[in-house]
Every structure is written in structure tokens, then in C-alpha cells.
Amino acid sequence: GNSVTQMEGPVTLSEEAFLTINCTYTATGYPSLFWYVQYPGEGLQLLLKATKADDKGSNKGFEATYRKETTSFHLEKGSVQVSDSAVYFCALSDQGTGRRALTFGSGTRLQVQP
Amino acid sequence: NAGVTQTPKFQVLKTGQSMTLQCAQDMNHNSMYWYRQDPGMGLRLIYYSASEGTTDKGEVPNGYNVSRLNKREFSLRLESAAPSQTSVYFCASSEGGFQPQHFGDGTRLSIL
């Protein structure tokens, strides 16, 4: 079956540090990949997505590249801010299997200190 | 600019009680979803509605029912609540497909 594995948190960084949150996946078909962000007390928001190998999704300074050879979709940001503190979820949809559901990772909490 | 609105935000139930979680979106989206979020786990899809009048089961539908009342509203009902249904419930919507774009702020449900 499909699965998504994320690095365990919390990840604690100082403001302006470089961020990487690792995400790897297993899928039976040809998945699309997503990153969602959940700010404290709120629902998830779609942050970025990539639909095929070598695609790069980007939004709000965050980037992730779909790497089929390593089955990875790591989230990066060059300079984090305190306002980026949140929980980040990696997810996949495997349209090839026809499943009408995203498979989510367990989330990685990011804490950015001033 | 409300987006996706869920009510209530918090609820405590006793085992065996029933209740309905309400969700409404004002973005004219076709697809709506109900997810549950449990500690240390990602979100899991309970039910999905591709359009008004249609609903489909997700990964964890047992113990739940849904109604897509109209294009705006999608409710989730627990007929006989069980402690295993203690969770945070999120409603979401999207223009189409099955990739949610906008989530509500969640309903924290505790069942004693």
C-alpha cells in the first residue's frame, strides 16, 4: 500500500536558518505529491504540490522537488521566519490506483526562534 | 472571507450519544471532505463528496454517516459515539478532484 514517512520533530531553528524537512514515500502507481502546513489552532493549508517526476513545487519561499529515483519530496526554505512555525505534512495521491484519498505523513513540527 | 466554517469547535459526548458536525464553504467548491486527525498520525479520510448529492467512503468510514445537503454544506454524523472516535475532525473543500485545498479550523471531539 501507499505510505509517507516524514522526519520526526520538533525541528528547532533560529530565524534566517536553512530548513529541510525530509519526506519519502512508497506508492503503487504514479503519485502526485503535496506539502500542507498547519498553523497553531487552524486547519491545514495546501502549501505546494508536484504532479510528476522532476517537477518542483514552490510557494511562499518554500520549495520541494519530486525525486522519483529516491522516492523523496523534501521541503526546503532558504531563510525561515518565526511566522513559519507550524506543523508540516507531506502527502501523496495515487491516482493510478483510483483511491479517493490522500495518504498523509504524521507531520513535522517546526519551531523557529527569534 | 470565511472559507470553510465548522461548528462546533469543541464538544464532549458520552458513549452512545449522537451528534452532527456541521460544515459549510462559501467558495462554490464542488468537492468536500471529512478527515480525522489523531496524535502522531496524519489525517485520514472519513468520507468524501465529489458534488452535491454524491458521497463516497474514505479510509475510515465505520461509525459515521454524512449528508451533502447542498453545494455549500456537508455534515458528519456520529450515530452512537464511541471513545475510539475521540479526535479532531476537519472539513475541507476543493474545486474538484480529491485533493483538498481549504480546511476548516477543526472540531475537537472528546467521547467519555
At A57-85, the pLDDT tens digits run 999 999 999 999 999 999 999 999 999 99
Contact between chains at B59 and A49 (C-beta distance less than 8 A): no
Here the cell at position B9 is 469547535
Do the chains contact at A100 and B48, CB–CB below 8 Å? yes
pLDDT for residue B68: 96
**Partner A contacted by B38 (CB < 8 A):** no
CB hemisphere CA count around B1 (13 angstroms): 1
Q: What whole-number percentage of chain B has pLDDT above 70?
A: 96
Nearest CA in chain B to A33: B99
More confident residue, A21 or A44: A21
User: What's the gap in Å between the CA of A80 and the closest CA on chain B?
Assistant: 23
β-partners of residue A92 are A33, A103
CA–CA dist A9, A86 (Å, integer): 11
- Residue B1: pLDDT band with limits 50, 70, 90: low
Does B64 have pLDDT greater than 70? Answer: yes
Residue B104: which pLDDT band, with cuts at 50, 70 and 90?
very high
Q: Taking 70 as the threshold, does the pLDDT of residue A97 lie above it?
A: no
Interchain contact, A93 vs B98, CB within 8 Å: yes
pLDDT band at B42 (very low <50, low <70, confident <90, very high): confident
Give φ, ψ of A82 to 5 degrees: -55, -35
d(CA A64, CA A105): 15
**pLDDT for the residue A100:** 59
C-alpha A82/C-alpha A94 separation (Å) is: 34
Q: Strand pairing of A86-93 and A32-38?
A: antiparallel
User: Is the pLDDT score of B98 beyond 80?
Assistant: no
b/e code A45-62 from CB counts within 10 Å (16+ = b): bbbbbbeeeeeebeeeeb
- Position of cell 520526526? A8
Calculate the average pLDDT of chain A: 91
